[in-house]
Amino acid sequence: MSGFPADFLWGCATAAYQIEGAPKADGKGPSIWDRFVHTPGHLPEGETGDVACDHYHRFREDIALMKRLGMQAYRFSLSWARILPQGTGAVNAAGVAFYSNLIDALLANGIEPMVTLFHWDLPAALDDRGGWLNRESADWFAEYARVAFEAFDGRVKKWVTINEPWVVSDGGYLHGTIAPGHKNRFEAPIASHNLMRAHGAAVKAYREVGQHEIGLVVNIEPKYAASNANADVAATRRAAAYMNEQYLDPALLGSYPPELREVFNGAWPEWDRGDFELIRQPVDFIGVNYYTRSVTRHDDDAWFLKAAAVRQPLATYTETKWEVYPQGLTDTLLWVRERYGDVPLYITENGAAFFDPPVAEDGRVRDPLRTDYLKKHLLAVREAIAAGVDIRGYLVWSFMDNLEWTLGYAKRFGIVHVNFDSLERTPKDSAHWYSRVIASHGESLSERL
């Protein structure tokens, strides 16, 4: 026995802005990322997503490659501004047609689509109206979601409302590191709250018109105290509440963790209790994005959380300076069940950026560190399944190298190599290894690399 359920889904994931390109094609409106990357100083060497992987024009080629590798599911995101160029109002028929053709091509190749409504690329027209700081954003999102549901539900049976609201708020409104580039601790909790209200509004809309499954995707980074000292334990608790519980608690428990009042200090608002009735809509699953852990200590010089990560000696670190720690994935999955009950889970992102050599003369891209990373994390998933956690699928991040947001094109997460000059796709050794894992339904994990 492989240790994975018979109906376990194996697949891969991407996000619209990172791969599609074609930012002005066929009536698409601009997003906050189109603006952000064209602002000098935000990306290395003036890189943008204007071409990216040109998936907009090459999606059939990419789907054919997914089929050859044996993918059973593909998680991708819709560009809100491609469907509603102004964010609300007039629907762009050409944008709907693009995703309709993409979905049809996936189904024709036996690949199940999992569609994410929002993966960070808010229409610029809505940012001009306050973006996620505007309470009307929940209504905007529900309107957009309903357009997508009515166009694609039935062919799409697994929906995600929002991907990683923590990153949107922390990077976009607190630290200013990603679009829209604000840096204001008073804005961050408002943006987070409205993201969660938008999630609830979209789920509510889905229950009216949809027939299948819908959930929320969060990134979880388990926090381990660097010592038993009270200050380190308290810092770890703050960090966990801020990153891991700020979104799951309201979605699944109907409240925020009390530590957030301390974290935000005077910037933490008093929330309308009625908002939590909207936020806490019953979901069919939670998607967990896992990459690394944090060993945490108290640090008076660390802005905001007064907490800092401690680098671990002798550990392997990825190109993004994230520790490789597979046990953290098992711990995370067990923690979700312990805190929130037996909610169905998907691993919606898991992967690593390592230095990849160029395509060799024999056509191979040898990436043993990524293969080792994926194997150990899949074994961690299997361990959680053996402990009784309801895990229904695993989607590797990412299908192919892409624009890694503000890191540009240098950090390669893909199991498929992309030559960003010619746009040629070449499966890496990790892709061929993962293909064998899928074909064996996990049995080949027992084989030595």
Catalytically annotated residues: 164, 349
Rg (CA), the chain: 21
Task: For residue 338, give every residue at least 6 positions away whose Cβ sits within 8 Å of its Cβ, in sequence order, or none.
Answer: none
Only one residue has tokens 């954003």, namely: 137
Only one residue has tokens 């409240």, namely: 255
Kindly give the pairing relationship between strand 158-163 and strand 112-118. Answer: parallel
Neighbouring-strand partners of residue 74: 12, 113
Instruction: Note whether 213 and 206 are within 8 A (CB).
Output: no
Kindly give the pairing relationship between strand 294-298 and strand 307-309. Answer: antiparallel
Kindly give the pairing relationship between strand 307-309 and strand 9-13. Answer: unpaired
Give the CA-trace dihedral at 50, 56, 58, 59, to 10 degrees. 140
The b-or-e profile of 39-55 (16+ CB within 10 A means b, else e) is eeebbeeebbbebbbbb
**Which residue from 235, 251, 364 is spatially nearest to 300, judged by alpha carbons?**
235
- Asked whether the CA dihedral 343, 348, 353, 356 is positive or negative, the reply is positive
**Which residue from 330, 386, 332, 378 is spatially nearest to 352, judged by alpha carbons?**
378
**For 203-206, which contacts have Cβ atoms below 8 Å and span 24 or more sequence positions?**
203/161, 203/281, 203/282, 203/283, 204/142, 204/278, 204/281, 205/142, 205/145, 205/146, 205/149, 206/145, 206/149, 206/153, 206/159
Residue 184 to residue 175: CA distance in whole angstroms: 7
What are the CA-CA distances from residue 69 to residues 26, 63, 91, 434 (Å)? Answer: 31, 10, 35, 8
